[in-house]
């Protein structure tokens, strides 16, 4: 599709609505308000993907490389049949095609940094006066693509901070946290691209993922290389169809075949509540204790339903002793383990647990705290983070918006802004040209600055006139995201 059609319909004729003589529109992308408790900074991530995927790849393939007559005719057909006969015209589309590149400049903070509310992550403006209309024409596509990777990267960082904190208090293996948050979200996301860009955001803070194509995207758009670095990984795992096919009468046999014949070594995760989780833990695993402990690897038990806190840590009001003890305590009673120098129990390395159904930050905290209260290290379990976490968000989760704050008309600059009297202040914008500075480790904004000041500060020019000027790697971004 012609990328110029990836827009809201009302954008199509804004070119004629600006004051006569308009030659420049300057806009910014900013998180304005957090709707997630305890999160007041947002990870910046996804602009490089947007520039490479849409401005450099899609515009090149679906606009500039196609015959001008074909592009213009298709645009005219779409608009005429959308708005009816109108005076929008196609001369500006033909002129852009003749130019052969996108005449825009983007200035951005480094990807992976955490940005306070109301601080611009990037700014953008047209570099040729006749294409002033392009700046905010891009708003729809930019907003559609970039809010999700920023949001998912921010939430993943919050999980990482939580799990790092409990590992520091209770575990002898804090490095295991790289794997402790595992992305299970792909099947529940709002389309393939949503899964991929959200999955990339997850992998800034963790290495565990079942979203395989997110790894492909990090190699393609962020310079990752799986032959030289660990981008993302997982382990063999069963699903309920596998266990059901083995029959309820021979579930013990299914477990034994999996760990002795199919996977005699290495890590394997087995879903264990197709029928009776507590029977698996109190009957089948004790019967297989010798086989489990003799394996050169780890068997990971995966419950998949119920309250995750009670399932893992025990339900004081449970009907049976097994329910009251929970998965981790039952595994300890069968396989044992060690007590680390912090005084917390760690399961034998041949056995472990993962829970991946409806995990939230609140539930993750409750699980870690429950394990701690029971005397267990938090790293005894892996948490599968799914679409309940990554899909139940919108652009308004962090109030993202792209707004124009400066323009030039007839050779004179204008500081522009919005400040609706009926709003609570969330939608009030900054004014004029912008400069972002890093002071005492925190980004701060100075608006209404001169062009000379705008050319300094923390915002770096990353794209101009069809050329990507700064290309960041996954390794660099991971280093930044862990630095604060």
Q: Which domain holds residue 351?
A: 235-382
Q: Among candidates 191, 105, 144, 123, which has minimal Cα distance to 400?
A: 144
Q: Among candidates 364, 305, 300, 311, which has minimal Cα distance to 335?
A: 300
Based on the fold, state whether residues 364 and 419 are members of the same structural domain: no
Domain harbouring 280, CATH code: 3.20.20.70
Query: What is the per-residue pLDDT for 432?
Result: 96
Residue 14: pLDDT above 90?
yes
pLDDT tier, 137 (very low <50, low <70, confident <90, very high otherwise)? very high
d(CA 481, CA 375): 31
d(CA 25, CA 129): 9
Residue 87: pLDDT above 90?
no
- Stretch 247-261: mean pLDDT, rounded? 96
- Mean pLDDT over the full length of the chain: 96
Strands 351-355 and 345-347: unpaired
Q: Among candidates 323, 314, 304, which has minimal Cα distance to 244?
A: 304
Query: What is the per-residue pLDDT for 151?
Result: 98
pLDDT tier, 67 (very low <50, low <70, confident <90, very high otherwise)? very high
Measured N-to-C along each axis, helices 139-170 and 361-373 cross at an angle, to the nearest 10 degrees, of 0
17 Cβ neighbours under 8 A, 6+ residues apart? none
d(CA 108, CA 18): 26
Residue at a domain's end among 346, 367, 382 = 382
Based on the fold, state whether residues 112 and 18 are members of the same structural domain: yes
Based on the fold, state whether residues 424 and 366 are members of the same structural domain: no
Query: What is the per-residue pLDDT for 357?
Result: 83
**Could you report the per-residue pLDDT of 295-340, keeping only the tens digit for each?**
999 999 999 899 999 999 999 999 999 999 999 999 999 999 999 9
d(CA 25, CA 148): 25
Please answer whether residues 68 and 74 qualify as being in contact, where contact means their C-beta atoms are separated by less than 8 angstroms.
no
- Please report whether residue 158 resides in a domain: no
pLDDT tier, 239 (very low <50, low <70, confident <90, very high otherwise)? very high
- Stretch 466-475: mean pLDDT, rounded? 98
Q: Among candidates 113, 98, 84, 111, which has minimal Cα distance to 12?
A: 84
- Please report whether residue 209 resides in a domain: no
Query: What is the per-residue pLDDT for 290?
Result: 97
Based on the fold, state whether residues 129 and 43 are members of the same structural domain: yes
Residue 67, exposed/middle/buried by CB under 10 A (0-12, 13-18, 19+)?
Answer: exposed
- Tokens 């390794």 found at: 475
363 Cβ neighbours under 8 A, 6+ residues apart? 308, 309
- Stretch 52-79: mean pLDDT, rounded? 96
d(CA 231, CA 204): 9
Query: What is the per-residue pLDDT for 266?
Result: 97
Strands 104-108 and 208-209: unpaired
Residue 84: pLDDT above 90?
no
Based on the fold, state whether residues 14 and 76 are members of the same structural domain: yes
Question: H or E stretch including 475?
Answer: helix 474-482
For the record, the structure tokens of 43 come out as 């990870």
Based on the fold, state whether residues 345 and 433 are members of the same structural domain: no
Residue 426: pLDDT above 80?
no
Based on the fold, state whether residues 362 and 445 are members of the same structural domain: no
- Please report whether residue 60 resides in a domain: yes
Please answer whether residues 390 and 383 qualify as being in contact, where contact means their C-beta atoms are separated by less than 8 angstroms.
no
Based on the fold, state whether residues 243 and 361 are members of the same structural domain: yes
- Please report whether residue 77 resides in a domain: yes
Residues 375-404 as b/e (b if ≥16 CB within 10 A, e otherwise) read ebbbbbbbbbbbbbbbbebebebbbbbbbb
Based on the fold, state whether residues 134 and 88 are members of the same structural domain: yes
Domain harbouring 110, CATH code: 3.20.140.10
Based on the fold, state whether residues 14 and 118 are members of the same structural domain: yes
Number of helices followed by number of strands (H, E) in the chain:
21, 19
Torsion of CA 200, 205, 206, 207, to 10 degrees: 60
Residue 247, exposed/middle/buried by CB under 10 A (0-12, 13-18, 19+)?
Answer: exposed
81 Cβ neighbours under 8 A, 6+ residues apart? none
Q: How many beta carbons lie within 10 A of that of residue 65, not counting itself?
A: 10
pLDDT tier, 422 (very low <50, low <70, confident <90, very high otherwise)? confident
Check residue 68 and give left, alpha or beta (phi > 0: left; psi -120 to 50: alpha).
alpha
- Please report whether residue 311 resides in a domain: yes
- Stretch 387-400: mean pLDDT, rounded? 95
Residue 476: pLDDT above 90?
yes
Report the domain count for the chain: 2
Measured N-to-C along each axis, helices 91-99 and 68-83 cross at an angle, to the nearest 10 degrees, of 150
Query: What is the per-residue pLDDT for 249?
Result: 95
- Stretch 443-471: mean pLDDT, rounded? 97
Please answer whether residues 419 and 444 qualify as being in contact, where contact means their C-beta atoms are separated by less than 8 angstroms.
no
- Please report whether residue 196 resides in a domain: no
Dihedral sign of CA atoms 94, 95, 96, 98 in order: positive
For the record, the structure tokens of 57 come out as 């790849």
Question: H or E stretch including 353?
Answer: strand 351-355
Based on the fold, state whether residues 252 and 351 are members of the same structural domain: yes
Query: What is the per-residue pLDDT for 301?
Result: 97
3-state SS class at 241: helix
Based on the fold, state whether residues 254 and 348 are members of the same structural domain: yes
Residue at a domain's end among 382, 399, 430 = 382
Residue at a domain's end among 366, 382, 398 = 382
d(CA 481, CA 478): 5
- Please report whether residue 376 resides in a domain: yes
- Please report whether residue 281 resides in a domain: yes
- Stretch 449-467: mean pLDDT, rounded? 97
d(CA 334, CA 290): 11
3-state SS class at 159: helix
Query: What is the per-residue pLDDT for 241?
Result: 96
């Amino acid at each position: 599709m012609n990328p110029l059609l990836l827009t809201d319909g009302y954008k199509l004729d804004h070119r004629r609505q600006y004051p006569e003589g308009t030659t420049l529109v300057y806009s910014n992308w900013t998180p304005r308000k957090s709707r997630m408790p305890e999160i007041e900074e947002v990870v910046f991530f996804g602009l490089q993907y947007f520039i490479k995927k849409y401005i450099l790849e899609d515009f090149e393939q679906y606009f500039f490389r196609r015959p001008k007559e074909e592009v213009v005719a298709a645009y005219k057909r779409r608009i005429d049949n959308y708005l009816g006969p109108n005076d929008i015209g196609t001369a500006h589309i033909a002129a852009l095609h003749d130019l052969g590149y996108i005449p825009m400049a983007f200035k951005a903070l480094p990807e992976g940094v955490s940005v306070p509310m109301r601080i611009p992550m990037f700014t953008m403006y047209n570099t040729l006066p006749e294409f002033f209309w392009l700046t905010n024409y891009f708003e729809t596509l930019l907003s559609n693509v970039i809010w999700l990777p920023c949001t998912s990267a921010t939430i993943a960082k919050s999980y990482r901070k939580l799990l790092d904190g409990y590992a520091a208090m209770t575990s002898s293996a804090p490095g295991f946290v790289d794997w402790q948050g595992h992305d299970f979200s792909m099947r529940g996301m709002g389309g393939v691209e949503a899964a991929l860009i959200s999955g990339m955001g997850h992998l800034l803070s963790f290495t565990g993922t079942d979203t395989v194509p997110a790894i492909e995207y990090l190699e393609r758009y962020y310079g990752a290389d799986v032959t030289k670095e660990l981008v993302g990984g997982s382990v063999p795992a069963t699903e309920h169809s596998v266990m059901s096919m083995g029959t309820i009468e021979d579930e013990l046999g299914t477990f034994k075949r999996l760990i002795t014949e199919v996977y005699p070594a290495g890590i394997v995760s087995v879903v264990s509540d197709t029928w009776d989780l507590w029977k698996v833990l109190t009957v089948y695993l004790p019967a297989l204790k010798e086989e489990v402990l003799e394996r050169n690897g780890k068997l990971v038990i995966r419950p998949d339903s119920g309250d995750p806190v009670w399932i893992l840590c025990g339900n004081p009001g449970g009907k049976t002793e097994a329910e009251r003890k929970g998965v981790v305590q039952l595994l300890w009673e069968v396989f044992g383990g060690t007590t680390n120098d912090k005084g917390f129990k760690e399961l034998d390395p041949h056995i472990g647990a993962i829970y991946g159904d409806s995990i939230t930050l609140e539930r993750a905290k409750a699980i870690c705290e429950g394990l701690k209260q029971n005397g267990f290290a938090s790293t005894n379990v892996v948490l599968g983070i799914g679409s309940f976490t990554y899909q139940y968000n919108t652009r308004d989760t962090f109030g993202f918006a792209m707004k124009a704050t400066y323009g030039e008309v007839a050779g004179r600059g204008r500081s522009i802004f919005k400040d609706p009297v009926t709003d609570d202040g969330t939608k009030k914008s900054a004014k004029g040209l912008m400069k972002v500075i890093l002071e005492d480790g925190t980004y701060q904004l100075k608006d209404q600055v001169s062009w000379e000041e705008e050319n300094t500060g923390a915002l770096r020019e990353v794209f101009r006139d069809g050329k990507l000027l700064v290309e960041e790697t996954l390794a660099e971004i991971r280093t930044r995201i862990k630095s604060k």
